[in-house]
Structure 1
Amino acid sequence: MNRACDPVDVVLPCLDEAEALPGVLAALPPGFRPIVVDNGSTDGTADIAASLGATVVHEPRRGYGAAVHAGLLAATADVVAVLDADGSVDPAVLALLAARLPGADLVAGRRIPSGRRAWPWHARAGNAALAALLRRRGVPVRDIAPVRVARRGALLELGITDRAFGYPLELLLRAGAAGWRIVEVDVAYRPRTGGRSKVSGSVRGTLRAARDMAAVLA
């Protein structure tokens, strides 16, 4: 059981998040230690992270899964969280998710959009379709969430192989197959801070993520 005083390492996969990152790091709850995984940024993301006291990991292989996996390998805490670094989810929710962990193996945020700009229709539709497929396979989720908390050792033992956008879907599939207790917690989902999402910011990005996830389902 994770005690309230135990640290939680927060893996923040980053590709050009210099604008949003300072606010995200400042909003982390006490005891939540940031590990910024720079995935080839050209805007000074890594330097900003280091100057603000975050642990910085450089992952040259492009891909969301590659960045998350590198962060897990660098983490040392028993409990780890994964959070997008674009400001779309308030980092304060991580404390709420971690508090649910003693009764679950994986606690994931279920995104509730705070406005029309927060979650474009094409991304929301694709997410809903994938979540429905997961439920048919016995995985009780309604979101392929970008924010989650679990035990580091257990995550690594799942043996997730996808290093692109299919990573979170493969995580849920493997967790379901392993009999994990999965709990979803509603979290407000707001427009990202600056720039455009690599996934939901365009139909092309959403299709690329859907391609990666379809490969996982296959």
Structure 2
Amino acid sequence: MTFPPPRDVDVVLPCLNEAEALPWVLARIPDGWRALVVDNGSTDGSAQIARSLGATVVHEPRRGFGAACHAGLAAALADIVCFCDCDASLDPSLLVRFVDEIRRHEADLVLGRRRPQSRGAWPVHARAGNLTLARLLRRRTGLRLHDLGPLRAARREPLLALGLTDRRSGYPLQMVVRAADAGWRIAEYDVPYLPRSGVSKVTGTWRGTWQAVRDMSRVLQETPAHEGGSPR
């Protein structure tokens, strides 16, 4: 029996009822990369659509953005793992630059700073919550980041070594905090942010934004006690 050659990049796409957005997102996965669509309990046929479009589908019954992201990370096999929302607000083809920087060992974690392309792309309450968290992150770690957006790339094994435990909205922030505590080089680049397809499950409402801020605030109270090392 022959096996396909290993792919060096996996893209984790947490998914909850994104049937409308999936064709656009999956069409923009760079050639040779593997799309890992993590179905988080969709009822609109998202898993079937993703599979029909060539994606690998991972089922994660435990609800939560972090639960879906971490299930994708655990299922990944590639050396480099990327993360991208599955709602067509971000173009996964932009990850090529991120991956190139990781491959050149110029950064250990690369993040996308969302730049709204229209007035409705990023609600005011969601932007305000993100700004508050970025300021708290700077106070906690010294990192001068502007965004905690979901578009990002890093090497798989060092990510797993961070021992991420949050399974809710705090997952992206916990990744940054623990990477900073471990001495990672973290880079940030502007990326276009488009109006998403459908309604956000996290920051689409004031209540959702408040819950996300609460989740992330708990992460910022962590003490740097883990032993995850630098990927260099």
Aligned twin of 1:127: 130
What is the rounded CA distance, in whole Å, between the counterparts of 1:151 and 1:141 in structure 2? 20
Contact 1:20–1:86 at 8 Å: present in 2 too? yes
2:168 paired with 1:164: yes
What is the rounded CA distance, in whole Å, between the counterparts of 1:22 and 1:7 in structure 2? 23
Contact 1:97–1:107 at 8 Å: present in 2 too? yes
- 1:204 is aligned, of 204, 207, 222, to 207
2:159 paired with 1:155: yes
Aligned twin of 1:9: 10
- 1:139 Cα shift? 2.3
Moved more, 131-140 or 39-48: 131-140
Aligned twin of 1:114: 117
Could you list the per-position Cα deviations for residues 59-86 of structure 1 after superposition, in whole angstroms to 9, with x for gaps in the alignment? 0100011111110111100001000000
TM-score, normalised by the number of residues in structure 1: 0.95
- 1:100 Cα shift? 1.5
Contact 1:20–1:87 at 8 Å: present in 2 too? yes
- 1:7 Cα shift? 2.8
Aligned twin of 1:22: 23
- 2:147 is aligned, of 143, 147, 162, to 143
Identity %: 62
What is the rounded CA distance, in whole Å, between the counterparts of 2:203 and 2:44 in structure 1? 21
What is the rounded CA distance, in whole Å, between the counterparts of 1:214 and 1:131 in structure 2? 11
Aligned twin of 2:227: none
CA RMSD of aligned residues (A): 1.2
Could you list the per-position Cα deviations for residues 19-56 of structure 1 after superposition, in whole angstroms to 9, with x for gaps in the alignment? 00111001111122100000000000001011111110
Select the structure of larger CA radius of gyration: 2
Q: Which amino acid aligns with 1:211?
A: R
Map 1:4-153 → 2, pairs under 5 A: 7-101=8-102, 102-137=105-140, 138-153=142-157
2:178 paired with 1:177: no
Q: Which amino acid aligns with 1:83?
A: C
Aligned twin of 1:217: 220
Q: How many residues align?
A: 213
- Match of 1:9, SS state, is strand
The gaps in structure 1 that reach 5 residues or longer are: none
The gaps in structure 2 that reach 5 residues or longer are: 1-5, 222-232
